[in-house]
Amino acid sequence: MGKIAFSIGTITFSWFGLILALAILVACIINWWHVRLRNEEPDRLLDLTLYSVPVGIIAARIYYVAMNWQMYAADPSEILRIWHGGLAIHGALIGVILTIWIYSQVHNISFWRWADIVAPGLVFGQAIGQWGNFVNQDAFGYPTDAPWGIYIDYAYRPSGYEQFDFFHPTFLYESCWGLAVFILLAAVSWLTTRTSAKSAPGNLFLLYIILYSAGRLVIEGLRLDSEMIGDWRLAQVVSGLAIVCAGVLMWRNHIVQKRLKSVIAGRRGGGWY
């Protein structure tokens, strides 16, 4: 498969761009369903989508370029050619989270509630977006003899691995993991909104951060193109920190919710005077 899908006149459409557009569209559809499920205002979702999509893409590009500046220093114009690949998911997450937080502060709405709303769509969009790495032949892993190994053209093989033909399709592993996380998040969200089961605001989003980061922590260890900080893989460091921070916040939510239930139980029992 080539990188170019089709052309209309002088306008060329790349597979990478089309896959990215599809990922955003599907994420929006899922988020719309989630807004209806939680009885929130669709107009809020429209605003957040219009703001977070461009901010997320720009942040993803800035993050990637900053971590790989030596690749772009000689030709800075390459920074604008995102269809060549080079979007860091951690950068996109930072951009989306920052957008939701700023929007929630300006409009006086719950950041955690809206973070919960976008979490399932976000991870499903990530699962689709990973296939952009397939068409660009990047973000693959070490050589493998496994039957599901992906063939990489000679021009895209890293130095020292030219003699190998097949490599771990880490994009596929991350895509499958994202799909599994989506199914779990969707099930948890439905249970907490349609049954007596309750969850503190923000827990669904924090669960997404923990689960996605855990998968990335493992899968990143197979990749050949990881950005490094000394002897450490950057994505693994960020994923590990994300798991710890999300775990602490979820534990805090658990303590707060437990205290709230105790207060409510005390009032019902006549313990307040």
Q: What is the pLDDT of residues 112-162, one digit of tens each?
A: 999 999 999 999 999 999 998 898 898 899 999 999 999 999 999 999 999
pTM for this predicted structure = 0.88
Q: Mark residue 202 as left, alpha or beta (left: phi above 0; alpha: psi -120 to 50; beta: remaining).
A: left
Q: Residue 212 in contact with residue 181, Cβ under 8 Å?
A: yes
Question: Which residue matches tokens 């929630």?
Answer: 104
Helix (H/G/I), strand (E/B), else coil: 13: strand
CA dist 56 and 223 (Å) reads 24
Contacts of 29 (CB under 8 A, 6+ apart): 121
In the chain, the DSSP E strands lie at 4-8, 11-14, 150-151, 166-167, 228-229, 232-233
The one-letter amino acid at 119: A
170-194 and 15-37 helices, crossing angle to 10°: 10
Q: How confident is the model at residue 218 (pLDDT cuts 50, 70, 90)?
A: very high
The one-letter amino acid at 26: V
- Here the contacts of 242-248 (C-beta below 8 Å, separation 24 or greater) are 242/209, 242/210, 242/213, 243/209, 243/210, 243/213, 243/214, 243/217, 245/209, 246/206, 246/207, 246/209, 246/210, 246/213, 247/206, 247/210
DSSP-derived pairing of the beta strands 166-167 and 232-233: unpaired
pLDDT digits (tens, 9 = 90+) for 162-192: 999 999 999 999 999 999 999 999 999 988 8
Handedness of CA 11, 13, 16, 22 (dihedral sign): positive
pLDDT digits (tens, 9 = 90+) for 12-24: 888 888 999 999 9
CA dist 21 and 261 (Å) reads 44
Lowest-pLDDT range, 55-59, 251-255, 263-267? 263-267
Burial 175-187 (b: 16+ CB within 10 A, else e): bebbbebbeebbe
Q: Residue 127 in contact with residue 178, Cβ under 8 Å?
A: yes
15-37 and 42-67 helices, crossing angle to 10°: 140
Mean of the per-residue pLDDT values for the chain?
89
Going by the DSSP 8-state scheme, the letter that residue 220 receives in this structure is G
